[in-house]
Amino acid sequence: MSDPNETAEAERLNYPGRYQALASDSKDHIVCEKWKNYAIRSPYVKFMLESMKKLGCEVNIEKQLVCEPCSGKVLGGFDSRASQIVLCENTIYSPGCMKDVLTHELIHAYDHCRAHVDWQNIKHVACSEIRAASLSGDCFFWKENLARFNFGLKQHHQACVKERAIKSILCVMDVDENEARTAVESVFDSCFADTEPFDRIPP
């Protein structure tokens, strides 16, 4: 299990706007809000928002989906304490990126509502990161590997999910790569098979 104080320090570095008054570039913020409003109309994001509502955790778009400046290492994050999704206005680079980031973070929010995740427990974090990487579009084949003509689709997807989950853990927890990889491998089969609220991995 990660040290809560060290994990909090990682969060402070990645999401400085959560911990101090940080100047927001007005242009970046305006664009972020515009792309957010575009993303919430996309099918996957709409589905996730509806699924959250069915669980009794309806998302307040204005108060819980917030555009803020972040470090250069992350695109977004889920703040379980504030029940907010942070959308990094200085690193999200396109409307499509916004849609994927929002879907990814909504899966974390869904897990938090459904399963009462302990975000200090590396196996809990690994499970949610596996699901988010698999279901959000992070590892959709055409994005990750089409240019390499790698047609081992199922194997590629699983390998991509593992690597994405490991990288995400390293961003938010004070652990080394071996600890992150061990955690991902230990829960991978059950968490990868859990596609809720989707019936299957989205195409």
- The token pair that represents 53 in the structure block: 């509502």
pTM given for the model:
0.86
Out of 11, 68, 89, 105, which one is annotated catalytic? Answer: 105
Give residue-wise pLDDT tens across range 111-165: 999 988 999 999 999 999 999 999 998 887 545 454 444 556 678 889 999 999 9
Reply yes or no on whether 50 is catalytic. Answer: no
Least confident of 60-74, 100-114, 121-135: 60-74
Q: What is the CA radius of gyration of the chain?
A: 16
> What residues contact residue 66 under an 8 Å CB cut-off, 6+ apart?
84, 85, 86, 87
